[in-house]
A and B are shown apart, each in its own frame.
Chain A
Amino acid sequence: MAQHTAPATGGSSLADVEKASSKARNETIVRMGKFILRRLLAGIATVTVGVYLTVLIANMGGALDDIRRATIQEGVANFIALQALEDPEIRAMSQEQRNEMIAEQIALQEKRFGLDQPFAIRSFRALGAAMTLNLGFADQMVSDSGSKMVRNIILERLPATLVLFGTAYLLLFFLTLFGGLALSRRYGSWLDKGIIALAPTSAAPSWFYALFLILIFAGILNWLPFGGMVSAPPPPTPWGYAKSLGFHMILPVTAIVINAVFSGIYGQRTFFLAFASEDYVDMAKAKGLSNKAIERRYILRPTLPPIITSFAFVLLSLWGGAIILENVMNWPGLGRTYGQAIGQFDTAVIVSLVVVDAYLLTFTLFILDILYAVVDPRVRVGEGSNGR
């Protein structure tokens, strides 16, 4: 970086070079910051559009309004009932008077929440509520701790999903990276051909492989559990808990890996092969650098940004299958919550889950974008900083 800017300053003294170097570092930070900010804004815009779409779909069925009306009604009824305990005036009222009072309060509350306003305004209000994760109350479902707040229900199950898919995605990333690298070295071998032949297996989602894995390893061989996250009752010690968790994670993680690993390795390998035929790689070979050094400096470095991008798309395509996988494996995460919410027809929870999914996906992509900025020299140095 220093060399890059030093000639511009025409520096002769050491102080000049140092000054230039620190200036370059500052510029890099600014550029990175700009890049990340741009990505963040794009991410927020995407989430907004996605959530607004969700709001629109949900509202056309009137579901969101129904949810809010029900929330208000319940709240008012509870409030009056509580008031009645303390206020003798309310207690003295007849049932009709009390109902009238409740209706009055409900109308007031609905006005307060803007339910008397036209749909266009209300939809943006709903958008605001969803964007701030102000998710309201569930119709039927209750969190394990007994809360009816959708936020609590979702927060309770989020860790299970994150643990499972975090592990699987991490494993997948390194498997495809090193698998692809290894394969590009053995280009044309039977192993190479075998992996290419297996690449279309990704057409089937992860839950599909989970069915077969359960059949073989749980049904026939009886080695691994049929599903669930920990054995029941959960082991009391943290170590025992972790062991049980790991044991239960084998099948779902394997299913996700089988689903994506072959096409992933295939894609990576093609990247590496394309970059391995660049002139500067030949130059490095001519210089007599070791294969390892060539791979690390001349192949891995320039391919890392596109690999991260392609991995982002792998994540996107895996997400749908992941929801079903949790249902197949009885994994108590967000996907399983979808299944339960559909079973109980709990629209409030379903709408919120879609919103949370939009957030999760965007957040994952944002993280990958930052990684991209870190590994992509163009973003740091500023040449062609318009990114991909």
Chain B
Amino acid sequence: MSRIASIAKNAAAADRKLLIPYLVAGDPNLKTTIALMHNLVEQGADVIELGIPFSDPSSDGPVIQRGVERSLTKGTTLQQVLDIVAEFRQVDAGTAVVLMGYLNPIEIMGYEAFVNNASNAGVDGVLIVDLPPAEAGELHDLLRENEIDTIFLVAPTTREERVASITAHCSGYLYYVSLKGVTGAALTDYASVTDNIAKLRELTSLPIVIGFGIKDAASAATMGRLADGVIIGSALVEQIAQLGDQELHDASDLKRTTAVIAAAREAIDRIEQDLCY
């Protein structure tokens, strides 16, 4: 069983919602990213989505775009992102790490080299925003052969007849995009999320996590009720933007930066209790 699958299984057994923060690798620099990752685990993260910076992030809103630009100013490369994971793994064997990004850096590194390096670094899953299942064949096969989960998105616009082809390719967890738009937009349509998650439950037994538009404890709790976990990206990246770009940070600064994740943890841990009353 993959690390993600066993984390999800244990969480389900313990009525615990998965908490998945997203940050851009190399924002503001490589060392700080690693420190933040360990800090996020302390705050209650189960899985960390690590963004591979790309010059043209056309599915991301302004907050993550700026995080990507900060990282690219430092010249962060895909290989360095993989090195971050390897360094993180030397200390932490329990938390899953998912790489999230766009296809071109992987295309240029070459699929085989990427998958080998990712496997050696201890990457657990890969989510490529601009690679739909229909185009994913070769890379998908290589990832699966190396026991790396392939995570796909389902959007509010996804047609029902398409869901089966997505879930057939998806492993680890299914990422439900809560809104029409880009990362960091405001969530408006709670009812449609409820309906769509209910429909997805009928079509797949994969854990379902919700992302895009979750920005604080309250929205985490609201979405957490509907799903097996929540992803928080822009709200965290916005805090990381406040950090200086020195390589060493006081523990208190890191803790303040990741406070949004601690608050979300607390909020989603209360869900099960609330449901008991």
A and B found bound together: no
A interface residues with partner B (beta carbon < 8 Å): none
